[in-house]
Amino acid sequence: MSIADYWRLEAPRFRLEATKCTNCDKIYFPPKRVCPICNNDELIHMDLSGRGRLITFTKVEKPAVEFEYMGPYYVGIVELEEGIRISASIVDVAEEQIKEGMPLELAFRKYYAIGDEGIVYYGYKFRPPL
């Protein structure tokens, strides 16, 4: 990811910022400027709740180099209360604990770092509610 893309996506990544169409009420994450359903360009910003449930998941046994520090780890599809489905890492969960339908909440964590003293990228992941 380029530095420009990183900053452009900062709000969605840190606050789960979405947009909602003022005409048809469809919610978009990441945010869109124009509703692709009704072509309305008056979309309002909203923060998603960060609360949802696990739809499905898989265990990543052999992570890519940037994510080796996490491995093995879980990646899942989380359906938020607002009906939005997000692909994200599932953290702080044991193998015997993770199951479809379990409640989850937003957690901000390290994604990866470039170099030993380089830029550290952070973003959203999901965990069981505390």
Q: Does 120 bind Zn ion (CB under 5 A)?
A: no
What contacts 72, CB < 8 A, 6 or more positions away? Answer: 59, 60, 61, 62, 63
Span interacting with Zn ion, options 4-12, 32-40, 90-98, 113-121, rule CB under 5 A = 32-40
What's the closest the beta carbon of residue 23 comes to Zn ion, in angstroms?
5
Q: Does 37 bind Zn ion (CB under 5 A)?
A: yes
Q: Which of 24, 64, 119, 120 binds Zn ion (CB under 5 A)?
A: 24
Q: Rounded to the nearest 5 degrees, what angle is found at the Cα of 28, between the Cα atoms of 36 and 33?
A: 55
Span interacting with Zn ion, options 12-20, 27-35, 45-53, 56-64, rule CB under 5 A = 27-35
Sign of CA dihedral 74, 60, 88, 83: negative
Q: How many angstroms separate the CA atoms of 64 and 82, rounded? A: 31
Binding site for Zn ion (CB under 5 A): 21, 23-24, 35, 37-38, 40
